[in-house]
Amino acid sequence: EVFEDSAQASALVAEEIAQLIRSRQEKGENCVLGLATGSSPIKVYEELVRMHREEGLSFANVVTFNLDEYYPMNRENHQSYYYFMHQHLFDHIDIKPENVHIPDGKVPLDEVHQYCIDYEMKIREFGGLDFQLLGIGRTGHVGFNEPGSHYNSGTRIITLDHLTRSDAASDFNGIDNVPKRAITMGIGTILKAGRIVLLGWGHKKADIVKETIEGAVTSNVPATYLQQHANTTFILDREAASEL
């Protein structure tokens, strides 16, 4: 779906999320959301915060799992996805702290493997992801599933591509400060979500959006695996859709 501007499109995505939350509330059920960081989802979070403040949208029944975190990374660090999520969403809504899950960038290296298995298990214990919000990186990554990621990959530690690190360089005051690794949910984790919405804004995303939607399904462009998911929508502005 192509929109004139990202604000209007983000409001629509926020509305879909709000409706899902409310419908689960009516049944007395949890709503399990997979959440993304980066600039793409910021306006969706802004709109959800507005709905909480102005329309009384409650997040008391919401459980969240974030896609990824840099490794190593302290929570307090302003570049951490932990910090980002609290700054843009969690600090402004009534979500229960125990319902928030973000991969921990400080797990000792020899415990990461087990930590990732446990993260995956926790998603399953809550009944799986009802809704997964995604952005897309220019390597074709979703979460931090860089080229080479297998379609049934689970949560794990991965090495970041040079392009990904160079795209993040401005946030870190230079590429040398960008962590070389990250913990990310897998492609398999993401594809198990009941509903997936990927956001893409701006010219910079036009080439990878074209490859993802029109190209062959390949681990070289992990986002192409979304073609095989039955309930995925790409929400794009005109610029991101310009090569389609």
> Which residues are annotated as catalytic?
146
State the minimum distance, in angstroms, from the CB of residue 202 to ligand GLP: 8
Reading the block at residue 131, the tokens are 């809704």
Give the list of residues 6+ apart from residue 244 with CB closer than 8 angstroms, or none.
209, 210, 213, 214
Rounded to the nearest 5°, which phi and psi values hold at 160? -80, 145
Determine if 136 is a binding residue for ligand GLP (CB under 6 A). yes
Shortest distance (Å) from residue 68 CB to ligand GLP: 5
Interface with ligand GLP, residue 144, by CB under 6 A: yes
Which residue number, 94 or 171, has a Cβ lying nearer to ligand GLP? Answer: 171
Q: How far is the CB of 1 from ligand GLP (least distance, A)?
A: 18
State the minimum distance, in angstroms, from the CB of residue 136 to ligand GLP.
5
Q: Which amino acid is at 2?
A: V
Residue 146 near ligand GLP by CB under 6 A: no
Of the ranges 107-115, 134-142, 218-226, 236-244, which one interacts with ligand GLP (CB under 6 A)? 134-142
Identify the CA nearest to 222 among candidates 183, 190, 182: 190
CB nearer to ligand GLP: pick between 57 and 209: 209
Rounded Cα–Cα distance for residues 96 and 62 (Å): 8
Cα–Cα dist 5/202, whole Å:
10
SS3 at position 132: strand
Q: Which of 34, 103, 105, 135 binds ligand GLP (CB under 6 A)?
A: 135
Total of residues contacting ligand GLP (CB under 6 A): 13
Q: Note whether 99 binds ligand GLP by CB under 6 A.
A: no
Q: Which amino acid is at 170?
A: S
Question: Sheet harboring 100-101: ordered strands across?
Answer: 2-3, 232-237, 196-200, 131-134, 31-35, 62-66, 100-101
Q: Looking only at residues 57 through 76 of this chain, which bind ligand GLP when binding is defined by CB under 6 A?
A: 67-68
Residues facing residue 197 across a β-bridge: 133, 233
Indicate the residue among 44 and 67 with the shorter CB distance to ligand GLP: 67
Q: How far is the CB of 154 from ligand GLP (least distance, A)?
A: 17
* DSSP category for residue 221: B
225 counts as binding ligand GLP under rule CB under 6 A: no
Q: Does 105 bind ligand GLP (CB under 6 A)?
A: no
DSSP state of 224: G
Tell me the torsion sign for CA atoms 66, 64, 235, 187: positive
Q: Is 164 in the site for ligand GLP (CB under 6 A)?
A: yes
Contacting residues toward ligand GLP, per CB under 6 A: 36-40, 67-68, 135-137, 143-144, 164
